[in-house]
Structure 1
């Protein structure tokens, strides 16, 4: 890897280097070719980057004014079920391959904006899978942990971005394929409203649900792609006008009530990461509600347990019948389930009418709001998926399958790590056209207000009566800790009784407390509401650091019960 070129390619970095004249599209293309060659064993590409394929686009850039081309010189990868002129479209099945007459609409619009495609990426064959292992071109390795799955079906697209072989990549999403790989590789995944991005030139999985999506490291990059490709294509039967909502905070943030299901070898770590994500969501300044998500579970279940499997067969059945054995075995088994005869015409209408009622219910529930869920409830090793390909794949769609059926837009958002080199992510959902609501939440999530740590040692601790004040001021619990061995604690004669923490020059002890994080914009109001003799001062912790925290004026200790020996208020 070039020392001057970071692994994390972003549009802002590339544009800055181009403007300064110390980088050109040719040199970044050469670096991408080098990286893809070095990563060949990761099975990222079906048509890998090569200078011969890229050069015509680079020559075209010379006649374009960067000021008139918002994506000038930006390299992108394309999932190999999306047409790129001059390259075969395989959908990860060589017997299916065809030479497209031109670009898919989304690719054409991106090239017109100055971006250039570098190659075609690997995928779960016919976009049927969420694991990234269902391809005769090899199992795509996770970008960070090669023994783990990369997620599918847009596996190669996500890993190409994560491994620095594209600034952004196009995927597709029917059941979660534009979101699951984002979460498993530490990226953003943008899934627009159904029909907002044209699907002309895309091999259909379920044509009525399919969306083209984008993977990137930064929100701004996805928004630039959205601006370039969004809009009706008069030659696309599924294309429609879906105006974006204004960029404003939603009226509510919704999160599932009750425990969620987590799975796989890191289930406990994923559950803890989700709890941390919910705590962070509570600090964003948007009222939060816990809601029953049974509706979304029911919608998710009918994607493969209803007649939509027959739609997949309608698109690919004639090819499979004419080419027995050409498809990946597990893929063909899934597709053939749509031809089982289990769904007659009446069952199709029954399911469609049921779904229509669900859409209405979802629209009412999400009106003006944004729903947050884990993107995935866990992950698997590639070996585990090989040993149980159906059940492992099915669980990966637990929190994704409902989205397109219910006509929602979504964005997968990185949310730290569940364990070392194990990214975790959440997905935000809104009603069709609600991308502006999603953008506003992501901006606040990615750039939260400045905060301060606050040490609490009494009724404001978790589970005690004044914890609600911490939540009202958008604080989140960080950790349990202890003071330096310099404090004494007194039970103050108040109603209800409260502790008074007093620093003493000698005879002190180390006392248990909790450390929270609170936005500075709410900290002042919180401090103003604290009654004397308590106040906020500097509390020294056992590691010698000082944080803001509850302290007590020393005069209040006179006549109060000394409870230092208890080790803390609890």
Structure 2
């Protein structure tokens, strides 16, 4: 099988375009994923890594489908990863503890739904043991390294699921979230992490961490991809005691109010000041976007959320963890990580009574009523994390570091909120910064509307058709800017191409009402800052604008001023050659040699 170019960053929309054009097949993508799993093995993202034996039965099923059946599968050919506390039929579920392992006969409800929609699993991912942790280091399968800076934590407990997507080994992945496990790893690895409302996605077939608070979640590169997965995975399930049905028929409007904490959050770790600066930049943008959408921007006291969060580990609610896992821990104490065992055993404290449990229950439901009223047509925005740590720092002080990572996440499920982490720039190089938006469980549409408006595009896709292409004189400029080659493409058939009399010869791409053709281009992904530098370096009559590709996608790219290439009658001016019929600057240059 010939190797084909598979982008490092996989998205549902991008893969579907490649499938439709015939540039890639799911088998091509699987080949790249298997190779990457070997290349990135030191990151310890996998418990069951991608192999041909693992993926081939799913690929054969996809390849056997007729076109009509494929058209009914919204996720056809999309590779995804599964956190190893979620069942996949015929594959052991370990929950990060080999002694606990069992092999399920059927997949978890959400996994089965995704496979039925055409997606195919590629492996089972590493996690903090029994989904107890926010750091990604509490696993006998190895500490999961951050995708961008291996010395740092990846975040947990859904560590491997986030790293798999960040390193291009899945287009999306499933995690779980009880106290922040579906959001912290997203923020630390530069991803979007969506945590649906409690009961929106079935937890049937999921090893419980704290059953009444557990959610299955999704990590992806884009908010669109998270929404596409949610459309398939959500819905009531008789097999799940916690299942609820939500009305998703209405598209959410922008919230009336955007709340942020009145007091500056606590920032911690070696990058505390960088995280503080990133939060302040995010606040400026949040306020601008809120006002632009006619919403109030208001600072409120959030101490009550911190008070509620303390119930999760410091109060009687931790007994729920012991109720599900206590017998196993008692019988297999030596097979459980010491720090994990300490946390779970705290749920069996003699000083916790039934009265304490009911008091916590009443406190939580009062908080839910308060949150429901406050966030019904509003969002609360907080840093996803106030900093990060090296893996060495976490090993030296596992309890304190883990607790700090959950300062702005632990309240979420206790208060019955829906949440999404979105990238919000960088704290520093290789250290992405994320913010989380929260809303009432019934207000998912409002939340996603706000997230879409707030999410800063960290990367921009740029089309080049001349000297910046590979093998030409100005291509090193793209390399210096850290641009990532995505592949070849064609414009929509509405462009004319000219060769300018410059040194070196440069093309001029011009959108035209008539006489146009599809022009060959190369696509690159670069940061917003790098794109700004590229724009600043381009002399007239060239400039930048929006370019439509043949598949309808719109990207940024080089364009030329009409007056520089055409006279008043639409013909090429003196010294300029029209090369539209050739359709490619590279072929034109080959012919001129």
Shorter-chain TM band: 0.7 to 0.9
Partner of 1:167 in structure 2?
171
Q: Within 5 Å, which residues of 2 pair with 1:251-270?
A: 251-270=256-275
CA contact (8 A) 2:384 2:421 kept: yes
* Separation of aligned partners in 2, 1:446 and 1:211: 23
* Separation of aligned partners in 2, 1:303 and 1:235: 26
Partner of 1:347 in structure 2?
356
Partner of 2:377 in structure 1?
368
CA contact (8 A) 2:423 2:455 kept: no
1:366 CA displacement: 1.6
Task: Select between 110-119 and 430-439 the one with higher mean Cα deviation.
Answer: 430-439
1:3 CA displacement: 7.7
Partner of 2:306 in structure 1?
297
1:357 CA displacement: 1.3
CA contact (8 A) 1:295 1:362 kept: no
1:242 CA displacement: 2.1
Partner of 2:42 in structure 1?
41
CA contact (8 A) 1:195 1:242 kept: no
Partner of 1:425 in structure 2?
434
Partner of 2:57 in structure 1?
56
From 84, 91, 98, give the equivalent of 1:87.
91
Residue by residue, what CA displacement relative to the aligned partner does 1:393-440 show, whole Å, maximum 9, x if unpaired? 000000000000000000000011000010000000000121111111
CA contact (8 A) 2:333 2:341 kept: no
Partner of 2:406 in structure 1?
397
1:231 equivalenced with 2:205 (yes/no): no
1:321 CA displacement: 1.3
1:62 CA displacement: 2.2
1:396–1:123 distance in 2 versus 1, CA, 3 Å: same
Task: Select between 133-142 and 4-13 the one with higher mean Cα deviation.
Answer: 4-13
* Separation of aligned partners in 2, 1:217 and 1:138: 25
* Separation of aligned partners in 2, 1:36 and 1:230: 29
Partner of 2:148 in structure 1?
144
Q: Within 5 Å, which residues of 2 pair with 1:437-476?
A: 437-446=446-455
Q: Within 5 Å, which residues of 2 pair with 1:203-242?
A: 203-242=207-246
1:278 equivalenced with 2:283 (yes/no): yes
The normalised TM-score by structure 1 is 0.77
CA RMSD of aligned residues (A): 1.6
Residue by residue, what CA displacement relative to the aligned partner does 1:36-57 show, whole Å, maximum 9, x if unpaired? 0111111000000011111111
Unpaired runs of 5+ in structure 2? 458-536, 540-593
* Separation of aligned partners in 1, 2:96 and 2:370: 37
Unpaired runs of 5+ in structure 1? 449-542, 546-570
Task: Select between 108-117 and 365-374 the one with higher mean Cα deviation.
Answer: 365-374
From 193, 197, 220, give the equivalent of 2:201.
197
Partner of 2:26 in structure 1?
25
* Separation of aligned partners in 2, 1:191 and 1:354: 23
* Separation of aligned partners in 2, 1:329 and 1:71: 41
Secondary structure in 2 matching 1:377: coil
Runs of 4 or more, structure 1, over 4 Å off, are: none
* Separation of aligned partners in 2, 1:15 and 1:70: 10
Residue by residue, what CA displacement relative to the aligned partner does 1:194-227 show, whole Å, maximum 9, x if unpaired? 0000000000000000000000001111011000
Secondary structure in 2 matching 1:232: coil
Secondary structure in 2 matching 1:283: helix
1:364 CA displacement: 2.2
Partner of 1:386 in structure 2?
395
Residue by residue, what CA displacement relative to the aligned partner does 1:72-91 show, whole Å, maximum 9, x if unpaired? 00000000000001110000
1:324–1:446 distance in 2 versus 1, CA, 3 Å: closer
* Separation of aligned partners in 1, 2:111 and 2:373: 35
* Separation of aligned partners in 2, 1:298 and 1:62: 53
* Separation of aligned partners in 2, 1:88 and 1:55: 18
The normalised TM-score by structure 2 is 0.74
- Structure with larger Rg: 1
